[in-house]
Structure 1
């Protein structure tokens, strides 16, 4: 870690699995933390592939992967948000926060204590002020662990994977107003999740699951080999408050381990 100025934490999962909500919560409780969104690397609409006659925003071909790896390399070397990235994703709403104020306060206190002098977090992040310790970059993306994204996976120091059922993902996605894009605004046409979003998720992530069933059991051997962390054995639609606490505690442990390298 001597040559790195930032730790890059991947938070991935299907569209509407809670990635952006979780990333924004973590940004608010870990010091010196910023978010880079995979969605900020979409190609322009006239470059997007199509599937079933519809624009396909949910496959690796829709993303400028070289630009993403360039941005991650900049972050590792400089510890700053890439000046050449124009973020649109933070303009998108993720709805009401599903985590209670009490749980957020509890986790904030836990992290605050953890970064005090003499504590493990202090060794990694310093005193929480600029100029001391490492920064944290949270990379939020729906395709981070697709095999087509190997160059991106290679630049992630911590890899977290969120689970969600097809029914829940569909319900959440269809409740959204739409998305800010380079060209303006995109709203899913009717049936978009069934025709585009979920099939692409299933195709890209089958390798992480037993028998390729993305609503089944994760393949723990593959997860271990690739260093991907997930809440195994708890089902698919885990309460966000539980996921939030798991993520905070897991990230603290991972940062401590990285600090000892």
Structure 2
């Protein structure tokens, strides 16, 4: 059994969630962790000298809880494979036992404890004007105050991007202005180049350990789940368990 962790980072509104969701639906035994789930409460986020809430810094996130989720996924993926083998499910070659984790977020590569976790790292970029335009169409809670993009969001992005580039660690940069399907196709093909093999997804059951279901059926992966909607679909066969496609802090020991 192998685990393979994919980082999808990048600028705000650069297409991270869209790409992560597309990969999540197409990769077998795949789970998704979203960094946005780990924001501290508004009251716990510091305010700068201009009165802007500093959401675009690591200190605004409960990163220890996020790491707990990631580490728990690794443990339970291994437990799930052991359970599958013990239950004598349809045999398959060892190389087919690949469990994928996608970690999506805007500050993934600024947090050093995550650095050794990733097998593949991607970073989406878009120009300033396009980013500002896209952000203006989004609704945030709490909403962006006037001049927040120019006064905090974009400067913090440039700062963290500069730090990331100086400590280059095998990140693949993606043009977020390209067609969504083209970006997805490139990344999917790049992951396949890693030499992983997944093709024998013929068992028709899910595995649940300690209340943490893990998807073990290719067909189940066709079910959709958007990061912001927190869908928990049920497999379309009798006797199946609910399969949460999104891992959130409550599922794996976070807060």
Matching residue within 131, 134, 148 for 1:192? 148
| CA–CA separation in structure 2 for the residues paired with 1:26 and 1:65 | 23
Q: Deviations over 1:113-137 (max 9, x none)?
A: xxxx99xxx764x2xxxxxx12211
Q: CA RMSD, aligned part only?
A: 2.5
Structure 2, unaligned runs of 5 or more: 79-90, 198-255
Matching residue within 242, 248, 257 for 2:182? 242
Q: How has the CA–CA distance of structure 1 residues 123 and 249 changed in structure 2, closer, same or farther, with 3 Å as cutoff?
A: farther
Does structure 2 conserve the Cα–Cα contact (< 8 Å) formed by 1:42 and 1:64?
A: yes
* Displacement of 1:46: 1.2
SS at match of 1:79: helix
> Aligned pair 1:62/2:60, yes or no?
yes
What's the counterpart of residue 202 of structure 1? Answer: 158
Matching residue within 43, 48, 71 for 2:40? 43
| CA–CA separation in structure 2 for the residues paired with 1:39 and 1:23 | 13
Task: Give the alignment of 1:173-192 within 5 angstroms.
Answer: 173-178=135-140, 185-192=141-148
| CA–CA separation in structure 2 for the residues paired with 1:65 and 1:255 | 31
TM-score by length of 1: 0.64
What's the counterpart of residue 209 of structure 2? Answer: none
Q: Deviations over 1:70-123 (max 9, x none)?
A: 11111122129xxxxxxxxxxxxxxxxxxxxxxxxxxxxxxxxxxxx99xxx76
Does structure 2 conserve the Cα–Cα contact (< 8 Å) formed by 1:35 and 1:138?
A: yes
SS at match of 1:203: helix
TM-score by length of 2: 0.65
What's the counterpart of residue 252 of structure 1? Answer: 192
Does structure 2 conserve the Cα–Cα contact (< 8 Å) formed by 1:12 and 1:142?
A: yes
| CA–CA separation in structure 1 for the residues paired with 2:68 and 2:120 | 18
| CA–CA separation in structure 2 for the residues paired with 1:30 and 1:136 | 7
Task: Give the alignment of 1:1-261 within 5 angstroms.
Answer: 6-51=3-48, 52-79=50-77, 124=95, 126=96, 133-146=97-110, 149-178=111-140, 185-209=141-165, 223=168, 226-231=169-174, 237-254=177-194, 256=196
* Displacement of 1:255: 5.4
Does structure 1 conserve the Cα–Cα contact (< 8 Å) formed by 2:17 and 2:104?
A: yes
As a proportion of its length, which structure holds more helix? 1
Structure 1, unaligned runs of 5 or more: 81-116, 127-132, 179-184, 210-218
